[in-house]
Amino acid sequence: MARMMFGDVEESVVTRDEVSLDTARAILAEETIAVIGYGVQGPAQAMNLRDNGFRVIIGQREGGASWEKAIADGWQPGETLFSIEEAAKQGSIILNLLSDAGQIATWPSISAGLTAGKALAFSHGFGIVFSDDTGILPPSDVDVFLVAPKGSGMSVRRLFQQGKGINSSFAVHQDATGRARDRVTALGIGVGSGYLFETNFRNEVVSDLVGERGVLMGALAGIIEAQYRVLRANGHSPSEAFNETVEELTQSLVPLVGENGMDWMFSCCSTTAQRGALDWRHKFRDAVAPVFEELYDNVASGREAKHVIAKNSDANYRIALDKELAEVAEAEVWRAGKQVRSLRPTR
């Protein structure tokens, strides 16, 4: 493992220098990776593994949109595309990429295929960490580990196709075979990770749930809505409010942060913008810190998991979810965004 400094903290990470793609292929040469679920992460990880030369099959409920998408992506029913039960039987590494609710519902079918020496893999530790609520309790004679790409399935696939990679965490929860660490790092390289950093299942879940509800999605959506509304309430047009709130953020500034850091983004802006950002960041940080502390406590205590499981298990969940998503889509800020995006130059 490589040693890297992150500020004053030294971490061990796995890069493609330590575990090359050829090494990963050799480690998993006798394995069949059964990717269970073809929704958000499934397509990206499965196709990346296939393109990298690993033996991959898909387990998916037949007849739905995801089954048809798998066929469209080149998976062949009866050859590389099976029911969840059959894929779990055939796979030596069962990579469970169903939603958390889906993992709970299908656990009896998947667990039936977990014979001694196999591996149960995840990209999220939710089912294992909150096993009292999920009922997901693997047998003691299988490896249990995770590789968690730090991005959406779409990003995982796009970066792979661009010859890049997305960073992933990895963790070993149970090493029954003595090979769990080799298997998980090989899997991480196989799905196209840029580098792998080690964690444990609980830390992965807590950081992931906090991140999704915080900066990555929830907080971002809330801050955007708040600024847009203030601008509109003070007489600014939808186009001006959206461009100053979202378009410049996503098309100009965030790419600069990703390229070389927040200080780099600041340095690429006017001195007036720099001064204001450096002054006002403290107010925003101090204002939201109590919200993040409340969020962290809610996640770490397990209350958030219970809430998610209860909501996602409701028979009318999909109807309610579609209604909430439609409300977001119909908000003026995002209707303005649709218009702005349509006016972007095509070249």
State the Cα–Cα distance between residues 272 and 274, nearest whole angstrom.
Answer: 5
Tell which residue, 64, 176, 174, 158, has the closest CA to residue 122.
174
CB 121 within 8 A of CB 150: no
Output the six-digit token pair for 193. 């990770």
Look-up: residue for tokens 């020496």?
A: 117
Cα angle 285-223-240, degrees, rounded to a multiple of 5:
125
User: 185 with 14: CB under 8 angstroms?
Assistant: yes
Residue 80 identity (one-letter amino acid): T
Decide if 124 is catalytic: yes
Three-state secondary structure call for residue 145:
strand
Q: CA-to-CA distance for 122 and 130, rounded, in angstroms?
A: 14
- Going by their DSSP bridges, the two strands 93-96 and 81-82 should be labelled as unpaired
3-state SS assignment for residue 103: helix
CA-CA distances (angstroms) from residue 321 to 312, 317, 326?
9, 6, 8
Q: Which of 124, 236, 282, 307 is labelled catalytic? A: 124
**Amino acid at position 102, single letter:** G
Specify the residue for token string 């493609």: 16
* Structure tokens given for 30: 């006798």
* Exposed/middle/buried for residue 128 (C-beta within 10 Å: 0-12, 13-18, 19+): buried
Measured CA to CA, the distance from residue 149 to residue 156 in angstroms comes to 7
| DSSP single-letter state for residue 77 | B
Classify residue 176 as exposed, middle or buried by CB count within 10 Å of its CB (0-12, 13-18, 19+): middle
User: Which are the catalytic amino acids?
Assistant: 124
